[in-house]
Every structure is written in structure tokens, then in C-alpha cells.
A and B are shown apart, each in its own frame.
Chain A
């Protein structure tokens, strides 16, 4: 277990380092002249030269890379050209929207998926199972931005239960903040819930056919008891894997959804910085998103260890 934690931490660091290299190469070396990228093709030569100097582009790439990494390690991410505040503050304030959005969506998706998947598996090949399968088929097919717009049409413009977008900030209180996130959370969660419900169902059906479930039944457990007490935990192993993968998807999904609902989150930030060619922000946000995804996978690994004693022993 110790060795394996060490191993996983090492791979966490190496992966993150690789991300910084890729981000740096793609954003600062491949385009040739970042100053030109920033100012656009119509820029005056002397403005360009001034910006180059300001950005330190006159120095060799490896020095710039080194400075960036040292800054990252110290928590100093530089200053955004377009917002003119420290990138660290910028990311920090945006995370207050994106993290709750992603975590709540994932939680909602997981809860829905467990309920639907368990129900479908316990009704295998019956009407309830077919119903859930049809429902998830539809859920998988609906793009989240389109669902978001439908939700706005119904709940904001027609019923006027929620606002159509925007975020009052957590300073306005917990409830107004959460209320602004309800529709985007639902829009993001539905497709993920549909995919995950299918995984839960398939995994449960798999495990329900195992010998130890029959043993549980031979001890006098009802079908439902055997499912809950014996099959479910074993069935969660592939489900947790998929949740980890979906979290990355979910983060990507926030880019679209935050734009649909005009939420000041990380996804909207990356979208805007790409538009404004704010390299300093893009490169740091990319690393940040990668760090979140890798960390989630790290947590998924810990879940495996918690669920399956065989892995605890092996490592």
C-alpha cells in the first residue's frame, strides 16, 4: 500500500510535468512568436517589440520555461494581459464556480445512475428494465448545451423559477448561488447519468451471475438483499472507473455549459482567454485542469483500494 501510494504519487508528478511541457511547446514555441499571436497580424512592429520585451520573449525558451515552472511551484502564475490581475487570483475566483458545478453534476449523475441502474438490473428483461434502457438511450443522445437551452426555455422564460443565466457570487449567500447552478448542473448531469446508469446495470447483471451471489441466496437472502449486500459493492469497481473518466468529460462540458448560462467559471475563462489570446491564462488553466483530472484519477485509485481488499493486499 505504501509502495503503491508512492508509485501513484510519482506518476501524478510525472504526468503533470509532461502536461506543462506540452502546454509550453504548443502555446509558446509552435506558434513562433507569441507576441504576434497576442496582438494579431495587424500589429505595429514597435508595439510588437515592446511586448516581446515586456514578456521576456527575447530570452531563450528554456529560461522562460524554467521561470514558469519555478513560478508554478511558488504559486506565482504571472499576470493576465487582458484582465490585468494575477492569474492565480483569476483562476481562484473562477474555481469557486466550476468546482461546485462539476462536483454537483457528478454527484447528481452518480445518484441518478445508481437508482436507475440498480432498478433496471433488478427488473432485468422486464418492463422497468426496458423503460430505463429507453430513457438512458435518449439521455445519451441529448447534447448538454441543447438540454441547457431547453431547460432555460421551460424553467426560466416560461415558468420563471430560475434565472436564465449569470451567477450572483457566493457573497450573495449559499442559496442564491446554488439556485444559479441548478439548471447548469442538471444540463451537465443528464448525459453522464445516462451513460453511467448503463454501466451500473451491466456491471450489476454481471456480478449477479457470479457464484457468490448464489451462495448468498442459499443462505436465505432475498434477491434484493443479495443485490444490495453482496453484488453492489463488487459491481462498483467498474462504475468508479467510469466516474473517473467522466469527470474529465464533465470538466470539458463546463466550457460549453458555462457559456450557455454565462457562468464566470474556469471553462468560460479558458474560452474567453483563447478568444483574447491571453497565453498566460491559457497555459496555466490548461495545467490546472490537467492537475484536477489527474488528481481525480488518483482519488479513483484510492476508491479501488477501499472497495477491493484484494488490491490492498497486492500492493
Chain B
């Protein structure tokens, strides 16, 4: 049994006048010591999927399906039990390091907080543990950083602090929602290396959300590709990069600077944009931007098994599926 098992997860936004389908029928798992990537453009439902694991969806969203963590269905747990898991056995790193930290509390207090809450450490013990964590995430001058406020740190340093906070209680599962998107490229590298090292060290599972294929290719074991709130393809990372099956995955690969993937094909951005959830209908959601779309795509394509650990949802996989771009 995997550490995290998500089955048929759907998220709907229920308003008085309408009900919008934000995430539909998403299933995946993350094992111990495994790094699973979630790939997709902005607005494809990646963050909502992550928030739902923590039970921190915005108000007004209805969730269905099953999210099992260590065999326990999180959707049936009460708030108290969820609080005991959050920050303790499941850690979360957010997209935006500039706003993820409380501006009026010191870095030391913010890192010590989960330790005091979950591990019942005293003030002094929590502080020295926070110092040790800051050392571990390789922040220069960790003692001074304990008493610093977030605005005194750079973006990269703040993200390291957020990582230290998420790792403080040695969680079994770490969810990182685009942890490096807001940072410049050299810092991105360092942060990701650090993250992967730390996860390997503690043998925890990592769910790494990104829209950057370069990052995905280098750090993950398996990848889920999401589009319009649903999984359109899932595969081991090497297989996905070498022979993407879904037209959307192929389009994403073609839109990526190829240096990152070790080839030199031409860069082709995907025309059009992700459709808003309010436009979701029964058809394949990518068909409006897909070069292979036919009348058949007006119906929703099922996820089909393509090989060991490989699935994709497209009516036209045979027409060019499984070949390199």
C-alpha cells in the first residue's frame, strides 16, 4: 500500500446559481521515498489537488472520492485529527515565498511553531531545533536568521525557511506546490537539489507540482500530466519525456527549452489558453487546442492503459501517440 493514495478525487465549486467542475476523477499514488511530479499549465487544478490532501480547500468547494494517507481516509477525519497530521506527518511548501511567511513574526518563531505544536518542545528546545534546521537548509548565519523577520531575507532564503518549516517535524509526505517558480534559475536549482536531498535523507514521499518540464525531468520518478482539472497522462518520467503519448504532453514538451531535455528541437509554444472551468463539458478538454482533434473528441476519452505504469486519455493515441516529438 502506497503512502498516499488518491482515488477518483473530484472538486466542485458550489455556488447559489452554478456548480463548476474544478477537478474531475483524479487518481494517483505516492510511495515512500518516491518523487511524483504533477505537470500542467496554470489553472489545470494542480494546487487544488494539493490543497485537498491537506484538507485546506477554499470555502465553498465540495470534494468527493477517497484520499488515503497511510491507510486512513482523510476525507472522513475530523478537523482535530487533520490538524494533528498537517505540518506533522504531511508538510506543505507553497508557491509564493514572498507571501507565505508571516511578516510580523521572526523566522525562528515560525519554524519553531510546528515543533512546539506537534512535538511539544519547550521554547528553548524548539529554538535550538529551528537553528539546526536552518543549518540543514544551508542558510548563511543561521543564528542571526532565527531573529530575522521575513522581509530581511531574499526570496531564495525565504523559500529555504518555508522548506525548513515544512520539514521541521520530519513529515512522511511532502507536498511542494511550484516551490521554485518565483525564484531565479540559479536559486531554483539549489532549492530543488536541497529538496530532493532532504526527501531522500528522510525517505519521505514527495509530490512535486510544477509547470516546468526541465525540473520535472531531472527530479521526479513518475509524472502525472493534468489538463482542465483531469489527468490526461501518467507515466514514469523517462518514458514520458522520451515518448509522450498525449497530444497535450507533446505540446508541453515542444514548448520547453530543449536544453533542459538534451535535444535541440525547435521551441513551439502551445497556441491558445487553458479553458476556464465554467466551460467544462463532456468532451476532451484539450480538443480546442489540439491539432489532432476530430468529431470523436466531443466525447470524453477514457484513461487507457498503454504499458506498465502508463496511462493516457485520448481518442487518437494511435495517430502519433508514443513517438518522440
Instruction: Please report A residues at the B interface, Cβ cutoff 8 Å.
Output: 210-212, 214-222, 229-230, 233-234, 307-310, 313
Q: Which residues of B contact A230 (CB under 8 A)?
A: 102, 105
Closest chain B residue to A308 by CB distance? B104
- Is A220 in contact with B118, judged by CB distance below 8 angstroms? yes
Q: Which residues of A contact B118 (CB under 8 A)?
A: 220
Given A214-B56, A220-B114, A220-B117: A309 touches B151 (CB 8 Å cut-off): yes
- Is B103 in contact with A220, judged by CB distance below 8 angstroms? no
Least distance between A129 CB and chain B CB atoms (Å): 13
**B207 touches A (CB below 8 Å):** no
Closest chain B residue to A215 by CB distance? B100
- Is B104 in contact with A309, judged by CB distance below 8 angstroms? yes
Closest chain A residue to B93 by CB distance? A218
- Is B165 in contact with A212, judged by CB distance below 8 angstroms? no
Least distance between B197 CB and chain A CB atoms (Å): 22
Of A220, A234, A307, A310, which contacts B149 at CB under 8 A?
A310
Closest chain A residue to B86 by CB distance? A220
- Partner-binding segment picked from B27-35, B68-76, B77-85, B210-218: B77-85
CA distance A6 to B80 in the complex (A): 50
CA distance A11 to B89 in the complex (A): 54
- Is B94 in contact with A214, judged by CB distance below 8 angstroms? yes
Given A220-B118, A221-B117, A222-B79: A215 touches B84 (CB 8 Å cut-off): no
Q: Which residues of A contact B86 (CB under 8 A)?
A: 217-220
CA distance A211 to B110 in the complex (A): 14
Closest chain A residue to B82 by CB distance? A220
Least distance between A113 CB and chain B CB atoms (Å): 20
Least distance between A298 CB and chain B CB atoms (Å): 21
- Is A212 in contact with B54, judged by CB distance below 8 angstroms? no
Q: Which residues of A contact B101 (CB under 8 A)?
A: 212, 215
Least distance between B1 CB and chain A CB atoms (Å): 24
- Is B114 in contact with A219, judged by CB distance below 8 angstroms? yes
Q: Which residues of B contact A233 (CB under 8 A)?
A: 104-105
**B40 touches A (CB below 8 Å):** no
Given A211-B94, A309-B149, A310-B149: A216 touches B104 (CB 8 Å cut-off): no
Q: Which residues of A contact B54 (CB under 8 A)?
A: 217-218
**B92 touches A (CB below 8 Å):** yes
Least distance between B266 CB and chain A CB atoms (Å): 38
CA distance A222 to B80 in the complex (A): 8
Closest chain B residue to A214 by CB distance? B56
Least distance between B159 CB and chain A CB atoms (Å): 12
Dominant secondary structure at the A interface: helix
CA distance A220 to B165 in the complex (A): 11
Q: How many A-B residue pairs have CB under 8 A?
A: 76
- Is A218 in contact with B117, judged by CB distance below 8 angstroms? no
Closest chain B residue to A309 by CB distance? B149
Least distance between B269 CB and chain A CB atoms (Å): 29
Q: Which residues of B contact A313 (CB under 8 A)?
A: 149, 151-152
Count the B residues whose beta carbon is within 8 Å of the partner chain — how many?
A: 31
Closest chain A residue to B165 by CB distance? A219
CA distance A218 to B105 in the complex (A): 17
Given A218-B54, A218-B56, A313-B151: A211 touches B117 (CB 8 Å cut-off): no
Q: Which residues of A contact B102 (CB under 8 A)?
A: 212, 215-216, 230, 234
CA distance A210 to B100 in the complex (A): 8
Residues facing A in B40-55 (CB within 8 A) are: 54
- Is A234 in contact with B87, judged by CB distance below 8 angstroms? no
Least distance between B304 CB and chain A CB atoms (Å): 36
Given A211-B99, A218-B54, A230-B105: A310 touches B87 (CB 8 Å cut-off): no
- Is A222 in contact with B83, judged by CB distance below 8 angstroms? yes
- Is B83 in contact with A220, judged by CB distance below 8 angstroms? yes
Of B84, B105, B162, which contacts A220 at CB under 8 A?
B84
CA distance A313 to B150 in the complex (A): 12
Residue among A210, A211, A218, A222 with the highest chain B CB neighbour number at 10 A:
A218
CB<8 Å pairs between A and B, sample of 19: A210-B99, A212-B99, A215-B92, A215-B94, A215-B100, A215-B162, A218-B87, A218-B91, A219-B87, A220-B83, A220-B114, A221-B83, A222-B79, A222-B83, A229-B113, A230-B105, A309-B149, A310-B151, A313-B152
CA distance A229 to B106 in the complex (A): 13
B144-156 interface code vs A (CB 8 A; 1 in, 0 out): 0000010110000
Q: Which residues of B contact A308 (CB under 8 A)?
A: 103-104
Closest chain B residue to A211 by CB distance? B99
Given A214-B94, A215-B94: A220 touches B100 (CB 8 Å cut-off): no
Q: Which residues of B contact A218 (CB under 8 A)?
A: 54, 56, 86-87, 91-92, 94, 166
Q: Which residues of B contact A217 (CB under 8 A)?
A: 54, 56, 86
Q: Which residues of B contact A215 (CB under 8 A)?
A: 92, 94, 100-102, 162, 165
Least distance between A248 CB and chain B CB atoms (Å): 27
Q: Which residues of B contact A309 (CB under 8 A)?
A: 103-104, 149, 151
Closest CB pairs A-B (n = 10):
A219-B87, A220-B87, A211-B99, A218-B92, A220-B86, A309-B149, A212-B102, A219-B114, A215-B100, A220-B83
**B129 touches A (CB below 8 Å):** no
B164-176 interface code vs A (CB 8 A; 1 in, 0 out): 0110000000000
Residue among B83, B102, B151, B152 with the highest chain A CB neighbour number at 10 A:
B102
**B200 touches A (CB below 8 Å):** no
